[in-house]
Structure 1
Amino acid sequence: MAVTLITHLIVAFVAAAGAWAFQGARMDAAVAEVRLEQTNERLRAVSQARADERAITKTYQEALNAARTRENALRRDRDAARAESDGLRDQLSDAARRIADAPPTAVAEYAAAVSELLAVCSRERTAFAAAADGHAADVRTLTAAWPVMTTPTAR
């Protein structure tokens, strides 16, 4: 009877140890499953952040390329306008010499033409100034509306 009791106790102890080991393995598997889920979630977040970063970088690069293209076009236009202005300056200088020897009717016609030209220039300058003011107002609006990222202050 004592041997049977000891045998039962040993069997019960072995069964309890086996159950304990089995439950420990189940708990380890559950912890591993939670860690795997967290790791996968972090990987998805990192992947999304990288995709967002690539999209922002692409948009930024496209904007820079477009700005460079516009800048080159503006530079060409400015150079063409400067060449045109130099040509007009030469014509005016030549006209001043010719006016000195011209008859009064030719001088009057020239003065009327120059007056009309100056009126057109004045209207154009006013239109350019209004457009520039509009662009400046747009820039101020966009600057004021742009989100500002602040860094947390160290405590």
Structure 2
Amino acid sequence: MVAIKDILLLAASATAAVIPRNAATIEKDLKTINTDISNLHTAVNNYNGGGAINALPIQNDEQTLDKAINSADTDAKNSGAVNDADSKTIIAYIKNTLEPNIAATLKALIAKKADFAKDGLTSTVLSDLQTLKKDTDTFGADLLKKTPSGQQSAGKAALAKIDADFNNAIKQF
């Protein structure tokens, strides 16, 4: 039997898929992602080993972040082209706020590598990092499709910096 909540979720998803998005939606999505990264960073900093149960807040925050990235990607795909001024604003936010927070969170994860290893969670962290990188790359590529030609190189540079952050963390695990 199909639950009413499932039908409502499907209807909301179908409706959301056809509503055009704009730069303001993308900016809002990036701020949500940044908040989720900050929450993940806090969870990582609070983790001091002690088994998988103590790592649950990290796993929960990682899943919340990944959902936000995927939701933002859907919005980017459904967005019209972004004008030059909005692209500059979006790229500046990614470069000056989002990427530094991503880098700091990944450094915090690396700093806790011994605790993850002791608790047998290294492969879980690695898998989560790979998923986040893949989904971030997809989102970045879809944002670039909406970016004017004059901002393409700045957008690609911002994405390359985030990729380098992820690649470094993935190598550590």
TM-score, length-scaled by structure 2: 0.32
Structure with the bigger percentage of helix: 1
Rg larger for: 1
Q: Which structure is higher in RCO with an 8 Å CA cutoff and minimum separation 6?
A: 2
TM-score, length-scaled by structure 1: 0.35
